[in-house]
Structure 1
Amino acid sequence: MVEKRSEKMTSKEVKVSGVDSRCCGVMACKYLFCIYNFFLMLCGGLVLGLGVWTLLDKGIFIYLLSIITYKVTFWLMVCSGAAAVLTVLLGYVAIAMENRCLLALYTILLVFIFMFDSITGLLAYVYQDQVDIDLNQHLVESFIQNYGIDSIVSESVDRVQQQYKCCGANSFLDWNFSDWKSENPGHEVPDSCCKTQSPGCGVRNHPSNIPYTGCIHRFSEELREHLFLVGIVSLSLGVVQVLGIIITSCMFSRLRDMQKYESVKTKQDFNNEEQVF
């Protein structure tokens, strides 16, 4: 009898130690998951903020570009950043409830966000090489043919000339061939070209009044730098999501083993109680 009791005590201690070790493993994964989730929320907020800032501050320049890649890239950034923040909230709910279905959904969403960020990064990287070609082919058309006709394009041209302190696409001479010049014969260049702006200041094309350099070089440089930044941020977030997929898979596996062990233990305890009675 004493030996049987000691064997039972030993088996119970082994079970308790097994449960404790599994609980410790699950808790460690939980803490790691929560830390990662918080970091992902910061990264998602950064990407979302960068995308929104780009659309608000640089969005008007999109109308001077013929290829929609630039616009698509930044809308993808906004979508992936917002999706990352919402996915973080889902992750915290899943870990609090220890729900494997929600964790599986969380992992699937991470995969989709990873795909979005990868596409965004690749588009930004590829389009860097197309910026000069696009601007050389179409920027003169936007400046010369559409200025004064399309109000959005006109506003975009004015902002580019004011921000980069330039005049015309290649040079201030571009305005001599524009329809705007024929409709405003008393003006040499738009007022947005002037170094010190005032109504009607574009009547003089003296170098003391306007810059002679065109906007294409500064505009191209700005776009390339911005696209490089977007590519780095997007691909970095993609790497972070790969890490998240690995952590979530470990967490999913731990929870599955824990729940399986607990169900088996419950059945064994129930059978032992029946044997006692």
Structure 2
Amino acid sequence: MAVEGGMKCVKFLLYVLVLAFWACAVGLIAVGVAVQFTLNQTIPIGATAVSVVPVVIIAVGAFLFLVAFLGCCATCKENYCLMTTFAIFLSLIVLVEVAATIAGYIFRDKVKSEFEAGFRDQMKEYEKNNSTAEFLDGLQEEFNCCGAANYTDWEHIPLTPKNRVPDSCCVNVTQGCGNGFKPSDINQKGCVEEIGNWLKQKALVLAGAALGITFVEILGVIFACCLMKSIRSGYEVM
């Protein structure tokens, strides 16, 4: 009876965890959409490697939602095969999350280099494309930055009139402030560094949330294995 009572507790906790998985799944999908929107606002189109991040987050969230439904059915029916499948799929999600974290850490420098290359390509289109100009102006104003590494990057970009920077580079943005500018009136920091630091802060928050979700998923695997063992041993869990 002691084992049966213990398994009842495990079964109840597994129900709670399944509800938590559903909440985490919805949260991951929402975060993925938010990350996609944020990247569209801050990362130049050329930074293709970064665009994979929100897709992975949304895919993991959707898969976790389905796995949580499977776990609910397996717990309710006390079915050994369903519970085994649930534990395996949940373990796969944990492995994917760990692998994604490791890959993100390993390729962080490549992402930065792609971001900088994409930003410089966008700068070349500044006077050729109005949407690109609005995009870069918005970034430079929002992050108080100028150019990729610094304001001197604009010296290599043919602007009209010559020897000027976009007005969005100015500390105090006014019409024509980039013409005949003084260095002291221009934001000195480059956008790659400023936006990179901002994204790192967001990534740390995201990593902390992912760590918490992974811990809950590991608990789910452990409880599922305990319940599998009880079902296989022939105990009746009500």
Alignment TM class, shorter chain as reference: 0.7 to 0.9
**Cα deviation per residue 1:187-246 (whole Å; 9 max; x = unaligned)?**
822233244445555435235753233223212222333334444443443343232212
Helix, strand or coil for the counterpart of 1:72? helix
Q: Which amino acid aligns with 1:173?
A: T
Q: 1:200 to 1:105 in 2, by over 3 A?
A: farther
More helix by share: 1
Report matched runs for 1:33-112 at 5 Å: 33-63=14-44, 66=47, 68-112=48-92
CA RMSD, 1 decimal: 3.2
Query: What TM-score, normalized to structure 2?
Result: 0.79
Q: Which amino acid aligns with 1:142?
A: D
Q: Which amino acid aligns with 1:189?
A: V
Consecutive unaligned residues in structure 2, runs of 5 or more:
none
Write the distance in 1 (CA, Å) between the matches of 2:120 and 2:23.
41
Consecutive unaligned residues in structure 1, runs of 5 or more:
1-19, 263-277
Q: Contact 1:122–1:231 (CA<8 Å) still a contact in 2?
A: no
Q: CA deviation at 1:57?
A: 2.0
**Cα deviation per residue 1:97-142 (whole Å; 9 max; x = unaligned)?**
3333332332232123123212221122223344554456x25623
Number of residue pairs matched?
237
Q: Contact 2:44–2:122 (CA<8 Å) still a contact in 1?
A: no
Q: Which amino acid aligns with 2:151?
A: F
Aligned to 1:221: 197
Q: CA deviation at 1:70?
A: 2.1
Write the distance in 2 (CA, Å) between the matches of 1:55 and 1:150.
23
Q: Which amino acid aligns with 1:171?
A: N
Q: 1:243 to 1:119 in 2, by over 3 A?
A: same
- Where relative contact order (Cα < 8 A, 6+ residues apart) is larger, the structure is 2
Write the distance in 2 (CA, Å) between the matches of 1:87 and 1:235.
19
1:174 correspondence with 2:153: yes
Write the distance in 1 (CA, Å) between the matches of 2:45 and 2:170.
21
Q: Which moved more, 1:91-100 or 1:229-238?
A: 229-238
Q: 1:26 to 1:111 in 2, by over 3 A?
A: same
User: Who wins on radius of gyration, i.e. which is larger?
Assistant: 1
Write the distance in 1 (CA, Å) between the matches of 2:208 and 2:7.
34
Aligned to 1:9: none
Q: 1:36 to 1:146 in 2, by over 3 A?
A: same
Aligned to 1:124: 104
Aligned to 2:221: 245
